Amino acid sequence: MGVEALFEAASRVFGPLRGLLNSASLSSTLALAGILILLTIGLLYIVYGLVKLGKLLWNLRVRSFLLGLTVLGAALILLSLVMP
């Protein structure tokens, strides 16, 4: 019963993709695979950057952290003034 539920969920998620791949040409399928690979690499770089940022913020001194928050707050206020 648990395996059937897993197959049902997988078919709901990957069902539209299977229909797309069956009706598409080889070149568009390869292009889709390339785009998915590039998106995966980009996502991994974003996660890596967020982890590095988290480590940097964790090791900051209080003075540096408050200075960064002050600059961020001022930048957001200036951005809100510039945007209509």
For 50-78, write each residue's pLDDT tens digit. 999 889 888 889 898 899 899 999 999 99
Exposure of 32 by Cβ count < 10 A (0-12 exposed, 13-18 middle, 19+ buried)?
Answer: middle
Joined tokens for residue 21: 């791949």
CA 19, CA 46: separation in Å to the nearest integer?
30
DSSP 56: H
User: Does the reported pTM lie above 0.85?
Assistant: no
The domains of the chain are located at: 2-82
